[in-house]
Copies of this chain bind each other. A is one copy, B any other.
Amino acid sequence: MSAASPPFITPEALLAHWQGHRRLTRRVISAFPDDKLFTFSVGGMRTFGALAMEMITMAVPMVRGAVSGEWNTSGSRDPRPKEEVLRLWDEGTAQLNALWPQIPVGRFLETLTAFGQYTDALHNLILYVIDNEIHHRGQGYVYLRALGIEPPAFYDRS
């Protein structure tokens, strides 16, 4: 790193930012009635349960791959009770905290091929996972409003 190229954000701060988003996404999952999570959607789109399972099967596998070079996307996206989705979510949160510090120094700026097909700088691959979570969570806000349920505040990441 030269003095002319300071960071936008450090790895530690980016993980804290992501975990703030994950706390909000967890609240959005929680806000769905159990019988709507895998049944309700708008405009023929996927259910929020299906989107949450997509997030779960992307987050830890991406970071584990960044650590180990092994890219596994195992994990079913099938419907299941909300409590089970939340349990998997919390498992992922703990795994991210454990895996993140194991990403080798400097790797975020390197170009990798994730899951055998997505080639980009690691920071872009990880931002894609976070952005995908924000994008689909935004859809979840519309589903909740359409169900007459007030979504959690977007700015609250506590």
Contacts and interface: CB of A to CB of B under 8 A. Distances in A.
A3 B135 contact: no
A108 B13 CA distance: 12
Contact of A139 (B106, B141, B155): B141
Interface stretch (A31-39, A41-49, A69-77, A80-88): A41-49
Given A134-B134, A154-B132, A142 B45 contact: yes
Given A131-B134, A134-B138, A136-B138, A7 B7 contact: yes
B8 A11 contact: yes
Interface residues of A, number: 46
A2 B132 CA distance: 32
A124 B109 CA distance: 20
Q: How many copies does the complex hold?
A: 2
Nearest to A133: B134
A152 to B, nearest CB: 12
A1 B4 contact: no
A146 B4 contact: no
Contacts of A155: 128
11 contacts: A3-B105, A5-B11, A7-B108, A17-B124, A43-B146, A43-B148, A128-B155, A134-B138, A135-B135, A138-B141, A139-B139
A21 interface: yes
